[in-house]
């Protein structure tokens, strides 16, 4: 069955390696927020949008470190939490990229127009027409190159998001993580796990609550599949032992 979620990174490498590389580059990118705010010390003014972008980068830096450790330690719940932040960060990055590109195009167009108007005051009509055509061609060429690079960067970022989502889903299914297992009931991790898995439970786990309720409640294993939950040991063995003991006593 066709799925837009990739099974390999760049079609050949495992997802965990791709996710680790992506988050590593993301950490380096978020560190740039320090340099953006440090530019204030040199007297360089920054706009409100640049303020927001730099502060957002510093806030997300902590989450990227958490995501990197989750991949290294194979912690499904921590990686799932990071995945949601990464999706939000991707949407923010796309919005900021479009905003700054539109702003740059407006500045470039205004600069070119001002240059052409200035040249018309000191040159002949033929020279003015030539400059106008040349400047328009240059602006169109620069705009086309910028648009291509911008689209490539945005598509790469969207692909990276799919890689992170793909590995998070793979790890969740490998560890058999469900809405109500793996964490003590009532703990913050159990609440977080339920909140993150409930909206798209089938996408992440491959099961729904109705289809997995029987399999989730019947085993003696806890959420990690290794430790025995003593509260779920059946009483049938004790009952049979009592019956055997009563039969032995009656035979005596």
Report domain extents, the chain: 15-119+133-178+194-205
Which residue reads 């949008």 in tokens?
49
Question: Model confidence at 112, in pLDDT bands (50, 70, 90)?
Answer: low
Residues 180, 190: Cα–Cα separation, whole Å: 7
Return the structure tokens found at 86: 């990464």
Residues 181, 124: Cα–Cα separation, whole Å: 80
Mean per-residue pLDDT over the chain, rounded: 76
Q: How many CA atoms lie within 13 A of 192 on its CB side?
A: 13
Residues 6, 16: Cα–Cα separation, whole Å: 12
Quote the distance between the C-alpha of residue 12 and its chain's center: 21
Question: What is the mean pLDDT of the segment spanning 69-74?
Answer: 95
Question: What is the mean pLDDT of the segment spanning 208-235?
Answer: 45
Question: Model confidence at 54, in pLDDT bands (50, 70, 90)?
Answer: confident
pTM, rounded to two decimals: 0.71
Question: What is the mean pLDDT of the segment spanning 130-153?
Answer: 68
Q: Give the tens place of pLDDT for each residue, 165-220.
A: 999 999 999 999 988 886 777 788 889 999 999 999 999 998 876 655 544 444 44
- Residue 73 near residue 61, CB atoms below 8 Å: no
Q: What's the Cα-to-Cα distance from 49 to each of 46, 52, 90, 98, rounded to whole Å?
A: 8, 5, 16, 12
Residues 55, 73: Cα–Cα separation, whole Å: 28
Residues 96, 57: Cα–Cα separation, whole Å: 12
Considering 14-23, 52-61, 107-116, 240-249, the range whose residues carry the highest mean pLDDT is 14-23
Question: Model confidence at 104, in pLDDT bands (50, 70, 90)?
Answer: confident
Question: Model confidence at 131, in pLDDT bands (50, 70, 90)?
Answer: low
Q: What's the Cα-to-Cα distance from 116 to each of 127, 128, 137, rounded to whole Å?
A: 10, 7, 13
């Amino acid at each position: 069955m066709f799925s837009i979620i990739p099974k390999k990174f760049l079609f050949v490498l495992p997802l965990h390696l791709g996710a680790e590389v992506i988050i590593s580059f993301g950490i380096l990118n978020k560190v740039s927020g320090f340099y953006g705010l440090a530019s204030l010390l040199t007297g360089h003014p920054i706009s409100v949008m640049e303020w927001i972008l730099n502060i957002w980068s510093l806030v997300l830096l902590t989450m990227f470190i958490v995501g990197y450790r989750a991949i290294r330690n194979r912690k499904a719940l921590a990686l799932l939490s990071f995945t949601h932040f990464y999706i939000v960060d991707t949407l923010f990055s796309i919005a900021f990229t479009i905003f700054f590109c539109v702003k740059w195009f407006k500045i470039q167009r205004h600069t070119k127009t001002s240059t052409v108007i200035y040249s018309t005051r000191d040159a002949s009509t033929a020279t003015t027409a030539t400059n106008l055509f040349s400047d328009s061609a240059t602006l169109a060429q620069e705009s086309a190159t910028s648009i291509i690079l911008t689209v490539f960067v945005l598509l790469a970022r969207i692909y990276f998001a799919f890689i992170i989502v793909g590995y998070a889903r793979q790890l969740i299914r490998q560890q058999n993580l469900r809405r109500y297992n793996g964490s003590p009931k009532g703990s913050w991790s159990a609440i977080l796990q339920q909140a993150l898995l409930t909206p798209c439970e089938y996408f992440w786990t491959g099961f729904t609550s109705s289809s997995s309720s029987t399999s989730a409640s019947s085993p003696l294993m806890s959420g990690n599949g290794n430790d025995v939950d003593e509260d779920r040991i059946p009483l049938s063995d004790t009952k049979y032992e009592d019956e055997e003991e009563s039969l032995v006593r009656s035979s005596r």
